[in-house]
Amino acid sequence: MTDKHIVITIDGLVASGKSTVSRKLAQKLYFLHVNSGALYRNVAFWAEKQKVSLKDENQLEKIAQSLKFEFKLNSAGITELYVNNMPCSQEIFNEHIGLLASQVSMFPKVRTVATEVQRAQLLNGSLVLEGRDAGSIVFPNAKFKFYLTASVEVRAERRLKDQLAQGNPNVNLEEIKENLERRDYTDTHKGIYSLKITETTQIIKTDDLDIDEIVELLAVKVKA
């Protein structure tokens, strides 16, 4: 029964911690973790593979419609994404595909398909849905809606640490900061699809919190 299923939306700027927080919170609650960015990334990834122009909205819509997305919870409470019956390629998470995804996500027809995919997941269980428009467009009536925020300086420091931990020594704090500012601008200037804080969204400032503290804070709010 879908009305028994709970939706928690987590929106936020790039590097606000929303991906890790969403994944960990979903695992803690044994909910499906739906990472909406992965949908746009897959459309971009397959468009590039099939040499489809990233300006051709109709072709991009067709690609989006041709992909069967399945989010499956494994026995450890971790959500695995399958695309057309295959485990989702990890390649989609690289910077290059991220940039292409930001282009394909501008198209209303692509967004409509992605929105339907996200809503359909509610048939499979309770959700932690991570995105930009999760609480404003996809599930405006979600029971719990959170918006994670932190200053651009704190987010840049986090990105820097991640990149260094991944063994990438060629990173520069100023460059990361400029990149984040550019992506913040795009994310907040997409018309109706912009990252939005609705009246019923709880704003969570994460500057002084680490990931586990944020997860704990949200878990307490959900259980209250």
* Binding interface with ligand DC (CB under 6 A): 36-37, 40-41, 98, 101-102, 105, 131-133
- Which residue number, 79 or 102, has a Cβ lying nearer to ligand DC? 102
C-beta of 38: minimal distance to ligand DC in Å?
6
C-beta of 10: minimal distance to ligand DC in Å?
11
C-beta of 149: minimal distance to ligand DC in Å?
15
Q: Which residue is nearest to ligand DC (CB)?
A: 37
- What is the rounded distance in angstroms from the CA atom of residue 181 to the CA atom of residue 117? 29
Q: Is 201 helix (H, G, I), strand (E, B) or coil?
A: coil
- Which residue number, 177 or 208, has a Cβ lying nearer to ligand DC? 177
Q: Would strands 32-35 and 86-87 be described as parallel, antiparallel, or unpaired?
A: unpaired
Residue 10, beta-bridge partner list: 130, 146
Q: What torsion do the CA atoms of 42, 9, 204, 94 make, to the nearest 10 degrees? A: -10
Contact 193, 49 (CB under 8 A): no
CA distances from 73 to 30, 61, 200, 212 (A): 8, 27, 28, 21
- Which residue number, 77 or 98, has a Cβ lying nearer to ligand DC? 98
- Which DSSP string corresponds to 127-193? EEEEESSIIIII-TT-SEEEEEE--HHHHHHHHHHHHHHTT-----HHHHHHHHHHHHHHHH-SGGG
- Which residue number, 4 or 191, has a Cβ lying nearer to ligand DC? 191
C-beta of 48: minimal distance to ligand DC in Å?
14
- Which residue number, 93 or 154, has a Cβ lying nearer to ligand DC? 93
CA 200 to chain centre: 20
C-beta of 92: minimal distance to ligand DC in Å?
8
- Which residue number, 132 or 159, has a Cβ lying nearer to ligand DC? 132
C-beta of 220: minimal distance to ligand DC in Å?
25
